[in-house]
């Protein structure tokens, strides 16, 4: 993942911090979970992703579920 992709996620995090009443520690744990999921799924081969029924396009959506 390049630098632009990483910095593109920052506005999302800021928006969530402003619009929720979540505990900051819970937000941090959720963000770590999101990044870990994104990294793990992103590291899988296309064949492995196809075997589990996930496309590269779906990875961010799946990872964002861990951030909610």
The domain locations on the chain are: 3-65
Sign of dihedral through CA atoms 40, 42, 44, 50? Answer: positive
CA 40, CA 18: separation in Å to the nearest integer?
A: 28
Q: How confident is the model at residue 10 (pLDDT cuts 50, 70, 90)?
A: low
Residue 17, H or E segment: helix 10-19
Per-residue pLDDT of 12-61, as tens digits, reads 555 555 555 668 888 888 889 999 999 999 999 999 999 999 999 999 99
Q: What's the DSSP call for residue 57? A: G
Full-model pTM: 0.63
SS3 of residue 43 by DSSP:
coil
Q: Taking Cα atoms as reference points, which of 3, 8, 9, 2 lies closest to residue 34?
A: 9
């Amino acid at each position: 993942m390049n630098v632009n992709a990483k910095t593109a996620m920052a506005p999302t995090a800021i928006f969530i911090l402003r619009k929720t009443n979540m505990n900051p520690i819970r937000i941090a744990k959720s963000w770590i979970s999101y990044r870990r999921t994104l990294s793990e799924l992103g590291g899988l081969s296309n064949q492995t992703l196809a075997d589990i029924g996930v496309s590269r396009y779906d990875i961010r959506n799946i990872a964002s579920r861990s951030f909610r």
